[in-house]
Amino acid sequence: MHFCVQLEVRENGVWMPVVRYDTAHGFAHRDILDLTGKNVEKTPLFGMDYNDALTFAESDLKANWAFYKHLFEKGGES
């Protein structure tokens, strides 16, 4: 089983990835991206199986999308 859940925003008419949860590289993790699509932060989701990580990812993006959008617009700096 593999998954990918991604938050995107529309900037100047183009959809851009902001935050992605996926199982690439053999483990569940979150990638926070900048305006260029470069990964600025990778956070492993240790202690969760893929089902729990997917549920967490969906909940996190629904609850925190505005924060992630703001972070993205600032250039990835917290």
CA distance 12 to 53: 32
Q: What is the pLDDT of residue 2?
A: 93
Residue type for position 10: R
pTM of the model: 0.88
Maximum distance among all Cα pairs of the chain, rounded to whole angstroms: 39
How does pLDDT run across 44-76, given as a tens digit for each residue?
999 999 999 999 999 999 999 999 999 888 875
Q: What is the pLDDT of residue 11?
A: 86
Dihedrals φ, ψ of 26, to 5°? 85, 10
Higher per-residue confidence, 40 vs 59 = 59
* All structural domains of the chain with their residue ranges: 4-73
**Tens digits of per-residue pLDDT, 13-34?**
999 999 999 999 899 999 999 8
